[in-house]
Amino acid sequence: GAGVSQTPSNKVTEKGKYVELRCDPISGHTALYWYRQSLGQGPEFLIYFQGTGAADDSGLPNDRFFAVRPEGSVSTLKIQRTERGDSAVYLCASSLTGTFQETQYFGPGTRLLVL
């Protein structure tokens, strides 16, 4: 079946602009995660959804970052007033029910470049 998909695959924006990144999880997966990966580093957790609700948003770096999952499927990560330091690959992952032993399946990521 289809894996996790993310759009756009690449996004170039100017400092101060607003961006939205979209994630389509694997069908039937209730848990959805956003991570951010900078060059030479491992992915860093941003936020975790269980169904429609954000169960853990402790990784969001500041209030410029916000994410929603209104119908418990597709999620959108929103970044306001982008800064050059926001440049990274934004990865989305999903898992079936969200238990801690479950495999998280990652999408191909959105490469964000803030000029």
Q: Of the two residues 14 and 99, which places its CB atom closer to another protein in the complex?
A: 99
Q: Is 59 in the site for another protein (CB under 8 A)?
A: yes
- Strand-pairing partners, residue 114, are 13
Q: Give the containing element (helix H, strand E) for 91.
A: strand 88-95
All residues at 6 or more sequence positions from 47 whose CB lies less than 8 Å from its CB, including other chains: 33, 34, 54, 56, 57, 59, 60, 67, 77
Asked if 90 interacts with another protein (CB under 8 A), we say no
Residue 53 CB, nearest distance to another protein (Å)? Answer: 13
Question: Is 40 an interacting residue with respect to another protein (CB under 8 A)?
Answer: yes
Binding site for another protein (CB under 8 A): 31, 33, 35, 40-45, 48, 55-56, 59, 91, 95, 98-101, 103-109
